[in-house]
Amino acid sequence: MRRPSKKSPHKLSADSARLSTLSQAIVQAASRVEERAWENSLDTLLQKLLKGNHQDVIDNTLNHLFPADLNAYDVLMESVEAVSESCIIEHNESGATVKYDALLIAAPILAWTRFSIASGPIAPDMVLTLSAHLSAHLLAPGTRLAIAPSLYAIDQLPRSYGETSAMTQRLAQAALTGTPLRPTTNEPETAPFLADTRYLLAAVVAPLGTPLFRWQGAAHQQNYLADRAEALAQWRAQGTPNIARLLPGCGVELLLPEAYYVACREADKQIRPVSIRAAVNYLTLTLGVEASELRAVIAGFGEETVDGLLEEYRIAFTMRHSPDVIYGIVWPFYGLEDEEGTPADALPHSGISGTEVQKIPINEILTLLNESGVSHVKRHNERFPMEFCDDCGAPLFADPESELVHAEMPEDAPQGAEHFH
């Protein structure tokens, strides 16, 4: 569940009021039959708004519900994500109209390097190879698949629910018809982070009501957790060598391809520990020092208006006996995640089992730093405001004396990545 923007209109439009009412009705439904009826009405309205590109109506309603009715907010958020990443699509086959379920999926790739992480067009033969591996190891028999022929950075993904819905429809049609897709053009430039996520996007379609993923089949339902884990293992074994060709000079880790929003959220969380390890590796190699010669300074940051909640940790690096911040990374919180850890009802997806103990972020950060060889760590107990550099927009980090400063590599350090994850 995301946090809303801080601005919300005082008066809801008619469509916003209708969205709010339907979301609250679903919460109050006394039976599954009633709940499904309300859900159908909500989905129909959302489809109309997305088709008309009325993103502002949806955003205004979410911003209204977040402080007023958190349960209804959750319902609306889940519904708009589901409607934009899935659809029922009709296809004429031998003179008959056949209905298909379609789902937009994302296959996240964690990547880290001292150089640059590629994105952009994927050659047709590589698209065919990756399609074969996804179909063989993750998708149910009888499904069809279309992969977008581009490797996406996070700032190249759809920016709104309407754009997500349009991509779902376009890829679903391509999957049904076998129409070749062209790579997207004029994508935004990507910032050269040391660790970042790349995404394969695809649509999988199946006859209405039939399984999309292999572990949904009747023969797999008793052991679906083990089958999901095996599917991920096979995808990593077969897909990693091919993905590595798309990302030269990078270490890569493949996450489980899943429904678009779930996969993206999981990737956002899983890139955080990779960023710490990449930062320590970069600093030790670039500066020619041992990890034990570095110091990490951890501080919590949050806006004054967000009920006192931390929004992120910022981790500054200095030399052990110097106060100067030479590098920094950001560990953001997602949804209702905070400094106490992830809510118990938010089961991990990448771990597959659903039984893993949720980690408190500060403890995970300390463990990662120690495992990376950084044993000297200072943690500030105060909360700092979300401040950024006026000139370049980079986040400011707390130094050992609690001053907010710009991270600057030493003047004699070799030129390299200057950005912060």
Q: Is residue 420 part of a domain?
A: no
| Pairwise CA distance, residues 85 & 102, whole Å | 8
**pLDDT beyond 60 at 3:** no
Look at residues 83, 107, 140 and tell me which one is the last residue of a structural domain: 83
pLDDT single digits (tens) 281-312: 999 999 999 999 999 999 999 986 556 678 99
Q: 56 Cβ partners below 8 Å, 6+ apart?
A: none
Residue (of 50, 91, 70, 40) closest to 205 by Cα position: 91
Residue 399: CB atoms within 10 Å? 20
Q: Is residue 248 part of a domain?
A: yes
Ramachandran area for residue 257 (φ above 0: left; ψ -120 to 50: alpha; else beta): beta
Residue 355's pLDDT band, with cuts at 50, 70 and 90, is very low
Residue (of 368, 406, 372) closest to 389 by Cα position: 406
137 in the same domain as 231: yes
Q: Is residue 417 part of a domain?
A: no
283 in the same domain as 354: yes
pLDDT single digits (tens) 125-143: 999 999 999 999 999 999 9
Could you give the number of structural domains in the chain? 3
pLDDT single digits (tens) 334-347: 866 656 655 434 44
| Pairwise CA distance, residues 296 & 25, whole Å | 49
Helix (H) / strand (E) element for 126: namely helix 124-137
Q: Is residue 5 part of a domain?
A: no
Look at residues 231, 256, 281 and tell me which one is the last residue of a structural domain: 256
Q: Is residue 411 part of a domain?
A: no
Q: Residue 347 has what pLDDT?
A: 40
Mean pLDDT of 193-199: 94
157 in the same domain as 290: no
211 in the same domain as 106: yes
388 in the same domain as 304: yes
Cβ(327)–Cβ(409) under 8 Å? yes
149 in the same domain as 183: yes
301 in the same domain as 172: no
245 in the same domain as 274: no
Cβ(30)–Cβ(37) under 8 Å? no
217 in the same domain as 172: yes
143 in the same domain as 204: yes
Q: Is residue 414 part of a domain?
A: no
- β-partners of residue 213 are 139
pLDDT single digits (tens) 95-112: 888 899 999 999 999 999
**pLDDT beyond 60 at 43:** yes
Residue 227's pLDDT band, with cuts at 50, 70 and 90, is very high
Look at residues 256, 274, 295 and tell me which one is the last residue of a structural domain: 256
Q: Is residue 6 part of a domain?
A: no
Full domain range(s) for residue 371: 266-405
Output the average pLDDT for the chain: 88
Q: Residue 26 has what pLDDT?
A: 97
pTM summary value: 0.87
Q: Is residue 358 part of a domain?
A: yes
Pairing of strands 195-207, 150-153: antiparallel
Q: Residue 96 has what pLDDT?
A: 87
Q: 238 Cβ partners below 8 Å, 6+ apart?
A: 133, 136, 137
Q: What are phi and psi of 61, to 5 degrees?
A: -70, -40
| Pairwise CA distance, residues 255 & 264, whole Å | 10
270 in the same domain as 143: no
Q: Residue 416 has what pLDDT?
A: 53
| Pairwise CA distance, residues 252 & 238, whole Å | 13
Q: Residue 92 has what pLDDT?
A: 85
147 in the same domain as 248: yes
